[in-house]
């Protein structure tokens, strides 16, 4: 008895089913690989965004500090007789934490316009009182040092605290620092934050020719 083979129409549904199953399995594998690759890309973008936000914050702090330092330099130039004093200079401070002015004065306040500042010393003390308040508000963990100095940088050209000047033959420097997050991604514990007491983050000279 002759063997009858299935016709093309009988074989075609089986081939179609097999092709569909193979195609579905291959598409699912592609989706899984794509999701896996995309997840790594998303993680990288999240890390990049976090670093970008941190960098923007530090740039904003540096810009704020530069503006405050320039403002203090202008106040010192505007009251140069007090700014040039080698002793009892109301502009010279070495403060951190609460930034309490050595001699608080509020004679520049609009509520005291009836009396006002009666001397250059009162004006300097009032300027320092208001300026230190804003520094403490705008720069977290701020440290401020203003003094005559002839060695603002160490042997490695890194800014350093300290005042080695003793008279008007040296330049007055405004040194500022604040607490910020370290850019070292491997830092852990207390090393994550850079304390303001380590080094000045900003140094601006008030040149003698302008005083």
- CB within 8 A of 201, min separation 6: which ones? 62, 65, 159, 176, 177, 178, 180
pLDDT of residue 210: 47
- CB within 8 A of 86, min separation 6: which ones? 148, 166, 167, 168
Closest CA to 161 of 71, 79, 96: 96
Closest CA to 120 of 148, 71, 92, 78: 78
pLDDT of residue 2: 57
Over its length of 211 residues, how does the chain's per-residue pLDDT go in tens digits?
555 555 554 555 555 555 555 555 557 777 777 777 777 777 767 666 666 777 788 888 899 999 999 999 999 999 999 998 988 999 999 998 889 999 999 988 766 555 778 899 999 999 999 999 999 999 999 999 999 998 899 999 999 998 887 665 678 999 999 988 766 666 566 555 777 778 899 999 997 554 5
User: What is the distance, to the nearest Å, from the Cα of residue 12 to the centroid of all Cα atoms in its chain?
Assistant: 70
pLDDT of residue 170: 77
pLDDT of residue 9: 47
Three-state SS at 180: strand
CB 54 within 8 A of CB 182: no
By CB atoms closer than 10 A (0-12, 13-18, 19+), residue 173 is buried
By CB atoms closer than 10 A (0-12, 13-18, 19+), residue 37 is exposed
Q: What is the pairing mode between strands 171-177 and 143-149?
A: antiparallel
């Amino acid at each position: 008895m002759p063997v009858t083979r299935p016709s093309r129409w009988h074989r075609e549904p089986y081939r179609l089913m097999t092709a569909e199953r193979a195609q579905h399995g291959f598409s699912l594998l592609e989706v899984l690989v794509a999701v896996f690759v995309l997840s790594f890309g998303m993680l990288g973008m999240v890390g990049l965004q976090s670093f970008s936000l941190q960098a923007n914050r530090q740039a904003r702090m540096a810009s704020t500090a530069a503006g405050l330092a320039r403002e203090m330099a202008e106040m010192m130039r505007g009251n140069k007789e007090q700014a040039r004093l080698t002793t009892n200079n109301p502009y010279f401070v070495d403060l951190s934490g609460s930034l309490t002015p050595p001699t608080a004065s509020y004679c520049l306040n609009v509520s005291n316009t009836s009396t006002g500042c009666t001397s250059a010393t009162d004006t300097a003390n009032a300027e320092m009182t208001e300026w230190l308040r804003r520094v403490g508000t705008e720069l977290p963990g701020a440290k401020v040092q203003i003094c005559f100095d002839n060695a603002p940088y160490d042997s490695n050209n890194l800014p350093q605290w300290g005042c080695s000047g003793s008279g008007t033959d040296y330049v007055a420097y405004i040194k500022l620092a604040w607490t910020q997050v370290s850019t070292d991604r491997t830092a852990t514990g207390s090393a994550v934050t850079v304390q303001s007491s380590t080094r000045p983050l900003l140094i601006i000279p008030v040149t003698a020719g302008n005083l």
